[in-house]
Structure 1
């Protein structure tokens, strides 16, 4: 058997790196949980989802992606620190050791796959036939469960090596290693976080999105062509609002209604976000005209012919928020086809995939 040598392949190094990695995994899990709940809330929670703060989803999803990227060098360093233990012989020495090995195997496999899928999603490259969102969600629970099991099994060792020993001949070398890992994580953050942190945009070298260099100042994940939306004939387009007093509006009639402008961020699951000036009609004004109850949920239907988000729903906290608009203009200009012309939804604290473009119908849902 190969023998691994190195003074820093020890429990103290593994414990320190494990603390950092565990924190990154926990933040990723909690922010991912928030994103999942906002996208697919259970029925009992949907009417209560908060529309404030307006930057809430921008913060949580930016943290989700940034900590996922930071976790990559932490995971690699952690695996390096424990590599001798991975090749011990015999592989299983006791029941406790078997549980430890099993938790490590699941933990490593889930962590590597989860991070790889997340990085590929940031680049919007999907070379697989399965649903990214469902797979990412399921793996998150596997990873979190394996992490908790591993911590429980290794608790005695973690407690023993949590604090630095007074006489530690390897302390200087360990600090150098940890500083190197920390520097790598910091550099990765600086060159990628600019897609969601405006102050860091000049340093954005590796992020796949540059919001400030996009058409109308906002990136486009799904173009009109990709969504199967042809050129909408303005003279034939109608906004249909279904409710107790349903009605339909032409684009000119919609433009003639009171217009409001709100500066709101739009944030996507890939981690990018940007604030923009949106101008249009308040959704609550359209609902009031249709006689919608104040606590009614709303379904928004898009003209796109395919895609998982052709229809979306929102609870009353979003629908009645004064900042939720059926937007007609973006940053002072008429919406481009790729940004949802002639009308799209923009709401505070809401994932970008739910900011429905190419809106043709708004339905007041039965309570």
Structure 2
């Protein structure tokens, strides 16, 4: 027998508005957005580590996977969110607007959840495209709103859990679906949602999954850029076109005992290490590359410092949030952490950090400081 609509709610016989459809899509959305939140939180901790947090240097591809998962799960959440909102929109017109305290909490949680998740996914997608039509600092606001979204999601789940459990139990019912006056069947709507989500992922995942690049028609910056590696911030944008080419450039290495400077020729005269390492950006793209330069442990030993200390890195770039970075002891002890001089068999392009840059395994691209002028041992 067909269910009666809630009192005051417009009658809709579309299967897309069935609570079983809403529950199933809601479950998928909770998984995808939860995965997006967890991996985004991990990226935040890597970039702004509290005292208790450590991040390993191996395996070298781990950050590439976690950040790629963050972006892909966020993209997957967009069609799921749209399908979820479509499935519940008739409830927006229920009367009375508030029937009880639990009902008021439910409606408020839906409002906050929808607004915060929509904000997160929209701004995240624009960040991937490096399009910032706002005045606020994206990482801080994105991080704060993520907690609001997750908090409202947990409240919403707590309020709706009995309905969700009932609806999911009913999905095991194999009886023929009741006929509807229009639209897809429940299973048809769910299949369409899954296909749309899969298409969105397939069209973009090539940015971080190399073997999908030929079919990911909307992937971004996967292998574009000088020397086959994408560039987020150019030398011109960083204002280092003159200072990076200055023949008087010297790398300063500051230890507790002394300060030593190196010319580019002196750095090339030191033992060179070649490593194949991915560079992975917070926007989700990543690329494999072959880097050659001085292993940071070797450089530290040459200046009288022991590998495993914390090192502050300063760029020739005078402004910019990422003109400085800190390389923790886990990475300064790793022989694959390089002060890179060459990329893919050739001298570093100016946009890739000439005369030298940091490239460390399993680190976000924003922390792989370019146009390095100073290394300072701090611990």
- State the TM bucket, normalised to the shorter chain: over 0.9
Aligned-partner Cα distance in 1 for 2:226–2:323 = 23
Q: Give the one of 231, 235, 252 matched to 1:224.
A: 235
Aligned-partner Cα distance in 1 for 2:288–2:49 = 25
* Partners of 2:309 and 2:333 within 8 A in 1: no
- What residue number does 2:333 align with? 320
- What residue number does 2:66 align with? 60
Report SS of the residue matched to 1:60.
helix
Q: Report the CA distance between 1:302 and its aligned residue.
A: 0.2
> Which has the higher mean CA deviation after the structures are superposed, 121-130 or 165-174?
165-174
Superposed CA deviations along residues 83-135 of structure 1, whole A, max 9, x for unmatched, are 11122111110011011001000000001111000010001011211100001
TM-score in terms of structure 1 length: 0.96
Q: Give the one of 112, 119, 128 matched to 1:122.
A: 128
Report SS of the residue matched to 1:82.
helix
Q: Give the one of 286, 303, 306 matched to 1:290.
A: 303
Aligned-partner Cα distance in 2 for 1:274–1:94 = 54
Q: Report the CA distance between 1:58 and its aligned residue.
A: 0.3
Aligned-partner Cα distance in 2 for 1:247–1:167 = 76
- What residue number does 2:4 align with? none
* Partners of 1:234 and 1:251 within 8 A in 2: no
Q: Report the CA distance between 1:305 and its aligned residue.
A: 1.9
* TM superposition outliers: structure 1 runs of 4+ over 3 Å: none
Aligned-partner Cα distance in 1 for 2:62–2:144 = 24
Superposed CA deviations along residues 328-353 of structure 1, whole A, max 9, x for unmatched, are 00000100110000000000110000
Aligned-partner Cα distance in 1 for 2:174–2:373 = 71
Matches within 5 A, 1:252-263: 252-263=265-276
Q: Report the CA distance between 1:276 and its aligned residue.
A: 0.3
Q: Report the CA distance between 1:161 and its aligned residue.
A: 1.2
- What residue number does 1:80 align with? 86
- What residue number does 2:181 align with? none
- What residue number does 1:198 align with? 210
- What residue number does 2:195 align with? 183
Question: Per the alignment, do residues 294 and 343 of structure 1 end up closer, same or farther by CA in structure 2, a change over 3 Å counting?
Answer: closer
- What residue number does 1:11 align with? 19
Q: Give the one of 225, 232, 245 matched to 1:233.
A: 245
Aligned-partner Cα distance in 2 for 1:127–1:229 = 26
* Partners of 1:31 and 1:60 within 8 A in 2: yes
Q: CA-atom RMSD, angstroms?
A: 1.5
> Which has the higher mean CA deviation after the structures are superposed, 238-247 or 68-77?
238-247
Unaligned runs of 5+ in 2: 1-7, 179-183
Residue 27 of structure 1 pairs with residue 35 of structure 2: yes
Residue 149 of structure 1 pairs with residue 149 of structure 2: no
How many residue pairs end up in the alignment? 363
- What residue number does 1:249 align with? 262
* Partners of 2:18 and 2:186 within 8 A in 1: no
- What residue number does 1:138 align with? 144
Superposed CA deviations along residues 344-364 of structure 1, whole A, max 9, x for unmatched, are 000011000000000000000
Q: Report the CA distance between 1:233 and its aligned residue.
A: 3.4
Q: Report the CA distance between 1:271 and its aligned residue.
A: 0.6
TM-score in terms of structure 2 length: 0.93
* Partners of 1:329 and 1:335 within 8 A in 2: yes
Aligned-partner Cα distance in 2 for 1:8–1:355 = 47
* Partners of 1:299 and 1:362 within 8 A in 2: yes
Aligned-partner Cα distance in 1 for 2:296–2:23 = 52
Residue 170 of structure 1 pairs with residue 183 of structure 2: no
- What residue number does 1:348 align with? 361
* Partners of 1:324 and 1:347 within 8 A in 2: yes
Superposed CA deviations along residues 190-219 of structure 1, whole A, max 9, x for unmatched, are 1100010011000121123231x3210100
Q: Report the CA distance between 1:290 and its aligned residue.
A: 2.3
